[in-house]
Amino acid sequence: MDLLNINNLRIEFPSRHGTVIAVDDVTLTVQPGEVLGVVGESGAGKSTIGNAVIGLLEPPGEMTGGHVFLKEQGIDTLSPEAKRKIRGRKIGMIFQDPLTSLDPLQTIEQQLVETINLHLKLGEKKSQARAVDLLRQVGIPDPENRIKNYPHQFSGGMRQRVVIALALCAEPEVIIADEPTTALDVSIQAQILELMRRLCKDKKVGMLIITHDMGVIADITDRVAVMYRGKLVEEGTTAKILGNPDHPYTQSLISAVPRPDVRLKRFPMVNYIEAEGERKKLLDLSTHWLGKARDYKAVQGPFISLKNLVMTFVTKPALLKHNRVTFNAVDDVSFDINEGEVFGLVGESGSGKSTVARMICSLYRPAAGEVNFLGTDLTKIKSEKERDYYRRQMQMIFQDPFSSLNGRMRVMDIIAEPIRFHKLAGSNREVEQIVTDLLDHVGLGAQAAVRFPHEFSGGQRQRISIARALATRPRFLICDEPTSALDVSIQAQILNLLKDLQEELGLTMLFISHDLPVIRQMCDRVGVMKQGKLVEVSATEDLFENPKAAYTRELLDLMPRLDSLSLEGLEVENT
Amino acid sequence: MEQSLEKTRLQRIFGSDIWYSFTHNPTAIISALVTLGLIFAAIFAPWLAPHNPFDLASISIMDGNLPPAWSAGGDTNFLLGTDDQGRGVLSTILYGARISLLVGFSSVIFSMVVGIALGLVSGYVGGRTDALIMRIADIQLSFPAILIALLVDGVARGVIPSDMHTDISIYVLIFAIGISGWVQYARTVRGSTLVEKNKEYVQAARVIGIRPFTILRRHILPNVMGPVMVIATIHLAIAIITEATLSFLGVGVPPTTPSLGTLIRIGNEYLFSGDWWITIFPGITLVVLVLAVNLLGDWMRDALNPKLR
């Protein structure tokens, strides 16, 4: 007998542009004590399945086919009132964001006791005892006292533990976890996954875990179902799916996951996912505008040299200087970048890596220190005109493809803006030709020029951003988390593109990421940042094999191990 | 292929969510039709009105105080009756709506220009400039708008020689109403600018080297205009009412070029003698106009608000 049986499920979202089939004929089963992972990229319909099972499908979405059985009882046909009784009692839920899934105005105790009492009818005293017991089970220290606290008094990881305790309240038979660790730092992710897996095994609870992250899949699941555009393309044991996938989509998905253990020459062509990502027409850079000899000074000494850089933010403003409260986002950071190399900057959120990048390209003015670019200290330049010469040589690619393009401008004007501003081409006709060529060169095609940014997907927008950055013919490119907002297969394409461009144009790059496997694929040397300080700078291979700083070791230990992933058809780089 | 991708401006408008929301909202359609109808009637008043109420040769005091055409003693020449000087009420309403709308639109545009400019500067520059502009806004906000308009109007009357009053009083009125309304625009635009200036597209423009003025004009301004259009529509209704109030109080446009407010005031004197039509019809027109514009503004606010969609 299956614990949870989702049978030929079909969910449609009618809209005025036609009906979208979000989930198409999906059949899944979960056994007691089993963790089933549902993996797929954004828009694959995986969260919709979770919502449909617990009867919380967002309108206008509706189930137009199939059934959901819990222990052979059909639960999709029940009345809303009966569904409500099953939710929480028999099926527990863990959502992505621990910040919003708890009521901020109630103590943890009130929320737990209310839920326990509602479903189990134990009475006040017993419910309280059970709540304390649950908190102890999910690993919250000193539960007798912490239970009186409000949600904001817990850290993100602790809060997610409380959410798990809340899901376990009424001894559910099934738990549905929708991206339970996506909002957490890696260090906490590992602990939470371990906890969830243990609870699941101990209590013989079936778990459906929905995620986009292969690391999570490898860590926790017994079986995996792979979704692609609403369809279930493959299902099997975790070892089988990760190590030896059958379906071409799964194969391309697995091959696109950045490896923490080896460095690849480039990611294999992931054309199952987005064929248009291919760069059909490449420019002959020896004759084209983009590759033409530039009027730049030759480099002597380090390309970029940061000396004792400090950035201070005011956290409490005041009229008088000595009343202000400040903190150093970047504290005494010095490093060099040599010409033609890709320098990586890695660290957790809030470590100051983006602030360093913004100081280099003069978005922030450093509180102290020097930014030497080709031997000139940029912090000393007074006139905007003089600065333009340096601006043209360095460009930046941003993290969020949905806010890095002005939605009111056509792609043509977005990319032409830097060319026109720096007067890099003569006639309007010439500018337009260059923009079309650039679009071709980043794999978008010339038709893109007449459209607006909202007509493109995230990966395509990131290509437009790259084209805009190339439009000043820079020799230095800063990439600030360029792929962290993208799906893994799109990430592979963008990383390939950046690698290719770096080689073709001989670019020097500063590559910022929180993701160590990505850093390993992209960078020659790496700096590790922690709370505004640079703790280590090493060559990439050294960093991964023999980390010097304790913090680096810690980060490396927390990295999800993906040893079981198949290496078939991948070109490993020898160093 | 390339042709079909490039949508014309019209295709983009008719394919948009705003247009869809509009065509599925009867209130919005009706109020838009009423507003457009009144604007049309006002613009083409010289051709539509049965008489020219300001042509002294064509009016006769003998036609004074005639009731509407359907009541006893009415004249079909004057559908809605006449006022004390024998001017047709329908004609004066058409001409009056012209003045009301002119003052309304002009003062809204004036408020918008001042408010948007100050809001953009305040939000983008920040620091002391921001504090200064916003404190001035706060001070102004602590007085009722009508009081500020009265004050400006009064000062202007004191400063400008009296023989010029009639000629420039309409500009004074536009300035007075306009200056009393900029605060809302400035506050909204400042808020949106604070959000937009931290978005990555603005940073990208700064990395390119684009100067602040161009960033404000080319990048930030188009992205903060949505809420401004909503405020402008609702403000239009307020501006028309303010003008009517001022004119009713006798400090607005001169009686020689009456607006709806002036007409109501003139009619008010005859209300108790039973000549209700002189004041009621301009009053109804004013209410209908303001109501339609307000409903249109309400719809726009809801349609542009992603939280309500």
What's the pLDDT tens digit per position in B203-215? 999 999 999 999 9
Of chain B, the percentage scoring pLDDT greater than 90 comes to 36
Whether B198 contacts chain A with CB within 8 A? no
Residues A305 and A204 in one domain: no
User: What's the CA gap between B212 and A477, in Å, rounded?
Assistant: 23
Ranges A115-129, A163-177, B101-115, B163-177, most confident: B101-115
Q: Identify the band that residue A274 occupies on the pLDDT scale cut at 50, 70 and 90.
A: low
Whether A403 contacts chain B with CB within 8 A? yes
Whether B197 contacts chain A with CB within 8 A? no
Listed by number, the residues of chain A in 4-23 with a beta carbon closer than 8 Å to a beta carbon of chain B are: 16
User: What's the CA gap between B1 and A538, in Å, rounded?
Assistant: 51
Tally of helices (H runs) and strands (E runs) in chain B = 15, 0
Are the C-beta atoms of A488 and A214 separated by less than 8 Å?
yes
Nearest 10 degrees: CA dihedral of A170, A172, A178, A180?
A: 60
Residue A328 domain-assigned? no
Residues A203 and A308 in one domain: no
Give the DSSP per-residue string, A378-443: GGG---HHHHHHHHTTEEEE-S-TTTSS-TTS-HHHHHHHHHHHTT-SSSHHHHHHHHHHHHHHTT
- Angle, helices B277-304 vs B260-268, to 10°: value is 140
Residues A158 and A191 in one domain: yes
For B47-81, the three-class secondary structure string (H helix, E strand, C coil) is HHCCCCCCCCCCCCHHHCCCCCCCCCCCCCCCCCC
Domains of chain B: 25-56+73-304 (1.10.3720.10)
- Option in B1, B199, B207 nearest A363 (CB): B207
Q: Identify the band that residue A9 occupies on the pLDDT scale cut at 50, 70 and 90.
A: very high
| Average pLDDT over every residue of A58-66 | 85
Judged against a pLDDT cut of 80, whether residue A303 lies above it is answered with yes
Task: Report the run of H or E that residue A314 belongs to, with start and end.
Answer: strand A304-316
pLDDT of residue B307: 54
Nearest 10 degrees: CA dihedral of B272, B273, B277, B278?
A: -90
Instruction: State the smallest CA–CA distance between residue B28 and chain A in angstroms.
Output: 20
AA identity, residue A93: M
Residue A139 domain-assigned? yes
- Option in B5, B201, B218 nearest A403 (CB): B201
For the entire predicted model, the pTM comes to 0.84
Domain that holds residue A62: 4-256
Q: Which of A105-114, A183-192, B91-100 has the lowest mean pLDDT?
A: A183-192
Which tokens belong to A81?
A: 């009132």
Q: What is the mean pLDDT of chain A?
A: 86
| Average pLDDT over every residue of B269-292 | 85
3-class DSSP state for residue A237?
strand
Structure confidence by residue, pLDDT tens digits, B188-241: 999 999 999 999 999 999 999 999 999 999 999 999 988 898 899 889 999 999
Residues A213 and A294 in one domain: no
- Option in B208, B219, B222 nearest A418 (CB): B208
Give which of B208, B210, B223, B225 to mutate to test A binding, by max A Cβ within 10 Å.
B208
Q: Kindly list the residues from chain B whose CB atom is less than 8 angstroms away from the CB atom of residue A363.
A: 203, 206-207
Residues A220 and A292 in one domain: no
Residue A336 domain-assigned? no
Residues A236 and A291 in one domain: no
Instruction: State the smallest CA–CA distance between residue A561 and chain B in angstroms.
Output: 33
Q: What is the number of CB-based contacts under 8 A between chain A and chain B?
A: 65
Structure confidence by residue, pLDDT tens digits, B135-152: 999 999 898 888 888 888
Judged against a pLDDT cut of 90, whether residue A515 lies above it is answered with no
Task: Report the run of H or E that residue B140 belongs to, with start and end.
Answer: helix B127-141
Give which of B6, B203, B207 to mutate to test A binding, by max A Cβ within 10 Å.
B207
**Tokens 């990502």 sit at which residue?**
A277
- Option in B2, B200, B210 nearest A403 (CB): B200
Phi first, then psi: give them for residue A465, nearest 5 degrees. Answer: -60, -40
- Contact A395/B208, CB-based, under 8 Å? yes
Judged against a pLDDT cut of 80, whether residue B9 lies above it is answered with no
pLDDT of residue A273: 54
Whether A422 contacts chain B with CB within 8 A? yes
Nearest residue on chain B to A446, alpha-carbon basis: B2
Whether A447 contacts chain B with CB within 8 A? yes
Instruction: State the smallest CA–CA distance between residue A448 and chain B in angstroms.
Output: 9
**Tokens 């160590």 sit at which residue?**
A516
Greater model confidence, A309 or A98: A309
- Option in A358, A388, A406 nearest B209 (CB): A388
Nearest residue on chain B to A461, alpha-carbon basis: B201
Q: Kindly list the residues from chain B whose CB atom is less than 8 angstroms away from the CB atom of residue A406.
A: 201, 205, 218-219, 222-223
Residue A567 domain-assigned? no
Residues A313 and A458 in one domain: yes
Residue-wise over B164-190: b if at least 16 C-beta within 10 A, else e? Answer: eeeeebbebbbbbbbbbbbbbbbbbbb
| Average pLDDT over every residue of B102-112 | 94
pLDDT of residue A574: 59
- Option in A363, A404, A450 nearest B201 (CB): A404
Q: Kindly list the residues from chain A whose CB atom is less than 8 angstroms away from the CB atom of residue B1.
A: 447
Instruction: State the smallest CA–CA distance between residue A396 and chain B in angstroms.
Output: 7
**Structural domain total, chain A:** 2
pLDDT of residue B4: 46
pLDDT of residue B90: 84
Are the C-beta atoms of A346 and A527 separated by less than 8 Å?
yes
User: What's the CA gap between A423 and A306, in Å, rounded?
Assistant: 30
Residue A325 domain-assigned? no
pLDDT of residue B3: 42
pLDDT of residue B1: 35
| Average pLDDT over every residue of A355-360 | 93
Residues A154 and A194 in one domain: yes
Whether A405 contacts chain B with CB within 8 A? yes
Q: Which of A525, A494, A542 is nearest to A258 (CA)?
A: A494
Q: Identify the band that residue B7 occupies on the pLDDT scale cut at 50, 70 and 90.
A: low
pLDDT of residue B2: 39
CATH number of the domain that residue A462 is part of = 3.40.50.300
Residues A241 and A312 in one domain: no
Structure confidence by residue, pLDDT tens digits, A110-127: 999 988 988 888 888 899
- Option in B207, B219, B223 nearest A395 (CB): B207
Q: Identify the band that residue A281 occupies on the pLDDT scale cut at 50, 70 and 90.
A: low
Residue A265 domain-assigned? no
Q: Kindly list the residues from chain B whose CB atom is less than 8 angstroms away from the CB atom of residue A422.
A: 208-209
Residues A301 and A212 in one domain: no
Structure confidence by residue, pLDDT tens digits, B30-88: 999 999 999 998 888 888 877 777 776 777 676 767 777 677 766 777 777 777 777 77
Which tokens belong to B30?
A: 């009706």
Whether A472 contacts chain B with CB within 8 A? yes
Judged against a pLDDT cut of 50, whether residue B309 lies above it is answered with no
Residue A333 domain-assigned? no
User: What's the CA gap between B110 and B176, in Å, rounded?
Assistant: 10
Instruction: State the smallest CA–CA distance between residue B88 and chain A in angstroms.
Output: 49
User: What's the CA gap between A89 and A81, in Å, rounded?
Assistant: 13
Residues A248 and A305 in one domain: no
Listed by number, the residues of chain B in 206-235 with a beta carbon closer than 8 Å to a beta carbon of chain A are: 206-211, 218-219, 222-223
pLDDT of residue A136: 87
Residues A459 and A398 in one domain: yes
Are the C-beta atoms of A453 and A405 separated by less than 8 Å?
yes
- Option in A408, A421, A446 nearest B208 (CB): A421
Structure confidence by residue, pLDDT tens digits, A430-457: 999 999 999 988 888 888 888 889 888 8
Q: What is the mean pLDDT of chain B?
A: 84
Whether A387 contacts chain B with CB within 8 A? yes
Residue A272 domain-assigned? no
Give which of A58, A391, A406, A462 to mutate to test B binding, by max B Cβ within 10 Å.
A406
